[in-house]
Amino acid sequence: MSESQMKIDSARANALISQLQEVQQRISTVAKGRPVRLVAVSKLKPANDIQALHQPPLSHTHFGENYAQELTQKAALLPSSIQWHFIGGLQTTHCKTLAKIPNLFVVSSIDSIKKASRLNKSRGEFLHEASSTSSSSSSSSSATINGENKIINVHIQVNTSGEESKSGCSPGTEVVDLARHILTECPHLRLLGFMTIGAIARSVATTPETENEDFIALKDQRDLVVKELGDELLGGRELELSMGMSEDFEGAIALGSSEVRVGSTIFGTRPANRADAKIVE
């Protein structure tokens, strides 16, 4: 099936468009002119929904997925103008799969040196294969090949709540060491910033007036890395914060979030079972 054959139900499309616009409006109200990227989290939702938001009138480009195989399938079906975000729990074995998605914008869940190294190595191999099969290798110094991303941005995921069930690095040395590794040893990756999920209880209690400890903790980790490595390895480049989901994105923006990841407020509730999710409807 090609994207042009994908059926878009107009009532569904209109509902999705107005839900995304509403979220965008709420973001603007809190962001007060500061740019905040909205990642529409489409996990377990069909590619038709994504296409409905990616095509005009909205032409939304940033979509987030949690499962490597589902992302691979959707990326193959949908236009390469989409900028994909992998935000799910990352296993080392996923890195190779993800590295082969040309228009992968960011992997937000890097939490170990081993996974960073694997993703870097696999991307290098993928680019090598892609350039040896393409005649136009003249653009080798730019950030893209044939309009697609060459490097993969990464966020270091930090376990700011300390819950055992959450993945992510522990705050402190582990975060700084991983950041240094990415900046010095991983030429196919670019450290874009930091990501946290945070504790549910804290996010439910978050309003634009209350300060969520997870968001403050993530900002502290960013400041620590900038202080430890900034002069030497960042050359003044800023690092971003990916924090805030449906329950708490306004509070996250108030605390300096650069990117919010919003799923159910745009797409509605997800199927309870992964087995019930359809790639295409």
Ligand X SMILES: *Cc1c(COP(=O)(O)O)cnc(C)c1O
**Position 263 contacts ligand X (CB under 6 A):** yes
Size of the site for ligand X (CB under 6 A): 14
Candidate segments 205-213, 222-230, 232-240, 241-249, binder of ligand X by CB under 6 A: 241-249
CA-to-CA distance for 18 and 57, rounded, in angstroms? Answer: 11
**Which one of residues 97, 264, 277, 280 is an interface residue with ligand X (CB under 6 A)?**
264
Position closest to ligand X via CB: 263
Among 20, 78, 87, 169, binds ligand X (CB under 6 A): 87
DSSP 25-70: HHHHHHHTT---EEEEE-TTS-HHHHHHHHSTTT---EEEES-HHH
Interface with ligand X includes 167 (CB under 6 A)? no
Shortest distance (Å) from residue 150 CB to ligand X: 25
C-alpha count within 13 angstroms, C-beta hemisphere, residue 226: 15
Residue recorded with tokens 């059926």: 7
Q: Measured from the CB of residue 114, what is the shortest distance to ligand X in angstroms?
A: 20
Alpha-carbon gap, residue 225 to 239, rounded angstroms: 9
Contacts of 219 (CB under 8 A, 6+ apart): 241, 255, 256
Helix (H) or strand (E) holding 12: helix 10-31
Asked if residue 246 binds ligand X (CB under 6 A), the reply is: yes
Q: With respect to ligand X, which residue has the nearer C-beta, 22 or 129?
A: 22
Is residue 245 part of the contact set for ligand X (CB under 6 A)? yes
Q: Is residue 24 within the footprint of ligand X (CB under 6 A)?
A: no
Closest-CA residue to 39 (of 93, 108, 92, 117): 108
Element (H, E) at 96: helix 94-99
C-beta of 88 vs 102, nearer to ligand X: 88
Question: Does residue 197 belong to the site contacting ligand X (CB under 6 A)?
Answer: yes
139 vs 246, which CB is nearer to ligand X? 246
Least distance in angstroms from the C-beta of 71 to ligand X: 12
Site string for ligand X, 116-155 (x = CB under 6 A): ----------------------------------------
Candidate ranges 19-27, 75-83, 177-185, 258-266; the one touching ligand X (CB under 6 A): 258-266
Q: How far apart are the first and last CA of the chain?
A: 11
Phi, psi (degrees; rounded to nearest 5) at 196 = -135, 155
Whole-number Å distance between alpha carbons of 243 and 196: 6
Q: Quote the least distance from Cβ 264 to ligand X, whole Å.
A: 3
The residue ranges that bind ligand X (CB under 6 A) are 41, 43, 66, 87-88, 197, 245-247, 261-265
